Structure 1
Amino acid sequence: MCIVALAWRAHPRWQLVLIGNRDEYHARPAAAMARWDDRPGLIAGRDLQSGGTWLGTDTAGRAAVITNLRGYGDPRPDRASRGALVTDLLAGTGAYADLHSPTLDDFNPFNLLLAEHDRLLFLTNRPAPQCSRLAPGLYGLSNGPLDQPWPKTLALKEAMLQWLVAGAADPEDLFDALRSETLPATGIAPATPSDAPLEPPLSPIFIRNPVYGTRCSSILAIAPDGTGLALERRFNAQGEVTGDSRIPFVWPAA
């Protein structure tokens, strides 16, 4: 996942609204967002190469999204899959289910946002393992530090802000913002290149590229009473829609 905007306790209808695009090589196999048979309660897409996920929720009351973090050299292939971290945190079981585990250094550099009933946490393992509680508000995340003002991050946060200010209630409207191919004119360019050689140094929110580009757009919206909606829209190498998922769910009462 390469671009995320998240509104935490900033909307009268939704306690959490999380939107993001996953940019990846089109050749890397993935399964659509769905309920997992082998992890009851987990709702997410699935990376079929490493087995984990990049964004999802669990009906026990957790939602999470992860991005790669640039600026610390090339990723090491012997490291654990970052998708396993998301999967274990959501399910609450597995080697990486403990938020404060020193095993966070097992992974290549990452940023992770984890929402629960009463808190939003930011985790990273560079320059050192960190777990911080975030205040209510609007956040943006790409492949740099949290809220670093890259042009595409500012553009997606602005689109989310406009949706919030307008008092809109249907999170599906945010798919339009995730489909933007306009190259933003403001912001600070990334200081280091992407791990993916084909990703342009400055890219729009939606990347259309026959080899490496936006694979899916995802939306999670969760109300204070625990009722939630998970949405995903998938794309082929030409940027054409290939499928949609719409999964209602309920978190238990806090």
Structure 2
Amino acid sequence: MCIILLSTAHPRYALIAIDNRDEYVLRPTSRPHWWTHRPSGNRILSARDLHRRERGTWMGVGKDGRFAVLTNYRESAVDDPDHAICGVRSRGGMVTAWLGAPAEDSLDDFIKHMLDDKSVKGVGGFSLICGDLKAKAKNGVEPLVIISNRCNHPGEVPRIGGERGKTYGLSNTVYEEPATWPKIKTGKKLLEETIQEAVDKDLSEDELTERLFSVLENDTLPVEPKMSMQEHMDALRQSVYIRAFGDEQEWKDMADAADNGKAKDAFDEIEDESESEERLRTEAVVNFMKGAYGTQRQTLVLVDWEGNVTYAERALWDAHGNPVEKGKGDRVIRYKIDGMNT
């Protein structure tokens, strides 16, 4: 069960967002890289899901300052096509729908399109936090919105991030304030404390980054002997970080994947865009719903008032189910938003 935590509490940054992606460890996923959305031509920085044909993502930023992050949740009505447990279309396509929207489309235009066109239907349950990080000012920030397939009209769409000094959290459930899930309450508290420490001690960005990763490592997952997979899944709302778990067969699947990957690259590396497009067209879909489940990737996005973006991803497992030593799977990409203050 993924978690996204966001804050406007650090005076040096317009926004700080940190995210744990909890997933089947063997789900094929690229490392973050720049790619061009077709047909809009928008430049997007994100990792990409190599399993679903949409090649979507759970978190991404644009060269133009757009930002989006998604969490999913399980619907309860198995016979309701508008609220499918697992939809025909990938949830990850919701992220790229905003990042790849035409430049002239405002956030309100996007909300209206998503709801009027019923684009939020026919996919599994999700919440999409999205907005434009370019339009910022010292005395306030443009709000982000949270679109889900439980929204029926724009008036039901929550708006967050419009005030300084606020911290927000969302996991695999609909957004609510105050939060009720223990992992969200714990995550928000830890993020607030971390930012306060960073301000009090005037920590550098590198020092802040390490402390933000520490927030994402907070592990309070209750584990009892012989817990079933369902019991594990029910316990996931307790912990920010999810250490990998599985039954005997699932760990055997992990060992087999590691053995089969001995002569292969550790990650699904994509060196340039032409390679990206070719691989995304031809890569075979595999069955990823096997092996262990847990926190697979951790991502930080920091945006300062000058439009400088730090995008940091920490991989905890390689593409073949081998654990990655802390810090050895880090990738940091920095860039400046085009026309931040225009």
Q: Is the 8 A contact 2:5 2:188 kept in 1?
A: yes
Within the candidate set 79, 82, 104, 2:91 is matched to 82
CA distance in 2, matches of 1:92, 1:144: 26
Match of 1:108 in 2: 124
**How far does residue 209 in structure 1 lie from its aligned partner after superposition?**
1.6
Structure 2 Cα separation of the partners of residues 14 and 54 of structure 1: 22
User: Could you tell me the TM-score, scaled by structure 2's length?
Assistant: 0.64
Q: Is the 8 A contact 1:209 1:238 kept in 2?
A: no
Indicate which of 214, 221, 225 corresponds to 2:306. 225
Deviation at 1:235, TM superposition (A): 1.1
Q: 1:2, CA displacement in angstroms?
A: 0.9
The separation in 2 between residues aligned to 1:69 and 1:200, in whole angstroms, is 12
- Contact residue 208 and residue 239 of structure 1 kept, 8 A: no
1:72 equivalent to 2:76? Answer yes
Percent identical among aligned pairs is: 29
Q: Note the aligned Cα RMSD (angstroms).
A: 2.5
> 1:14 offset after TM fit, Å?
0.6
Amino acid across the alignment from 1:209: A
> Tell me, which stretches of 5 or more residues in structure 2 are unaligned?
79-83, 104-108, 136-141, 223-228, 246-291
Q: Which has the higher strand share?
A: 1
155, 158, 162: which is aligned to 2:189?
158
Cα deviation code 1:18-47 (max 9, x no counterpart): 001000111210001121255652111110
Separation in 1, partners of 2:129, 2:24? 23
**Does the alignment pair 1:43 with 2:49?**
no
Say if 1:43 and 1:139 are closer, same or farther in 2 by CA, change over 3 A. same
Which of the pair is proportionally richer in helix? 2
Q: Displacement, 1:107?
A: 2.2
- The CA deviation at 1:139 is 0.4
Q: Distance in 2 between matches of 1:199 and 1:37?
A: 39
User: Given the alignment, which residue of 59, 66, 72 partners 2:63?
Assistant: 59
Change (3 A) 1:58 1:248: same
- Per-residue CA distance 1:151-182 (angstroms, 9 max, x = gap): 11111111110022221452412001111223
Q: TM-score, normalised by structure 1?
A: 0.84
Aligned length: 240
Q: Which secondary structure state, in structure 2, belongs to the residue aligned with residue 46 of structure 1?
A: coil
CA distance in 1, matches of 2:232, 2:48: 22
Larger Rg: 2
Counterpart in the other structure of 2:145: 121
Query: Unaligned regions of 5+ residues in structure 1, if any?
Result: 185-195
Equivalences for 1:13-28 in 2 at 5 Å?
A: 13-28=12-27
Tell me, yes or no, if the aligned pair for 1:214 and 1:239 is still in contact at 8 Å.
no
How many angstroms does 1:71 deviate by?
4.5
CA distance, structure 2, for counterparts of residue 73 and residue 44 of structure 1: 32
